[in-house]
A = this chain, B = another copy of it.
Amino acid sequence: MRSVTKDNITEVFTAYFGEDTDPRVREVLGALARHIHDFAREVKLTHEEWQVGIDFLTRAGDITTPERHEFVLLSDVLGLSSLVDMLHSREDATSSSVLGPFHVSNPPPLEIGGDMKRDFEGEVLLVEGTVRDTEGNPIPGAEIDIWQTAPNGLYSSQDPDQDIHSFHGLMKADENGRYAFTTVRPVSYTVPDDGPVGDILRAAGRHPWRPSHLHYIVSAKGFRNLVTEVFPDDDPYLDEDTVFGVRSDLVMTYEPQPAGSFPEGFALSGQVAEAYSRVEFDLVLAAD
């Protein structure tokens, strides 16, 4: 168009699409451009602010490595990652929540009743539950991929003092869909805030904390993969998770258990004399 204006530029953008453009590309890219244009018009974005945005993206690119995912973190703190999760969450299944960047491929096998705490300091947490379908039937043999931070607040890939499989485990539910393991209670931690996303958080007066959580990916043949997290109901950051990951059905009570009451059937049975905590977290999968 030889006369682009601030009011017709979205139409001009749409007019430039090739006739053979994939309809979904046209829909997504067209909507993206329209919302970006509407945003700029609405706030009357200045050149200086535009430059701040370009510099931000450039710095985010500079800090990004295979281990440091600044664009994912940006999406996380803007709430986009959580929104994409929720858009495809099934209401009759367990809510999905953010995958985050700390999952590892090939997690080590973990037997039912196995232990991830090993020699780390901290209170034992016993986690158990059942994997079910939306009608309440157990899903035998469902695969449960679990990971969390060490007590220092770091995931294995962030921490040179942990081996890469530390606090990662892959469990197969039993014939009743039951899973169970011991670990150490995960801690609240901060997302990496030493880069440009940290600058956004500071500019917005936000902290970088996430409430403590255990990550899960649950999969079973004929069911949709469930990527989720479980949170304790007494975490101070529960109402202000910087990545918007908390859903009401993912908040559980971690029940304190008296000293001497640790049950049989666990790798740690007979070794835990002190008080521990227990959380029950059932996982409901939607059919594929």
Contact = CB atoms under 8 A, between A and B. Distances in A.
B247 A3 contact: yes
Interface string A94-118: 0000000000000000000000000
Interface in A23-59: 25-29, 31-33, 35-47, 49-50, 54, 57-58
Given A6-B89, A32-B78, 17 more contacts: A4-B245, A9-B83, A10-B79, A12-B79, A16-B240, A17-B205, A19-B205, A28-B43, A29-B200, A33-B78, A36-B80, A40-B80, A47-B88, A54-B75, A57-B60, A57-B61, A61-B61
A259 interface: no
Interface size class of A (residues with CB under 8 A): 35 or more
A43 B78 CA distance: 18
B54 A4 contact: no
A71 interface: yes
A230 interface: no
Contacts of A9: 79, 82-83, 86, 244
A200 B17 CA distance: 11
Interface string A54-92: 100110111010000101100100111111111111000
Contacts of A64: 58, 61
A144 to B, nearest CB: 20
A45 to B, nearest CB: 5
A232 B252 CA distance: 68
A246 interface: yes
B246 A2 contact: yes
A22 B238 CA distance: 25
Contacts of A239: 1-2
B33 A35 contact: no
Closest 3 CB pairs of A and B: A18-B205, A61-B61, A6-B86
Contact of A13 (B46, B75, B79): B79
Contact of A50 (B25, B80, B204): B80
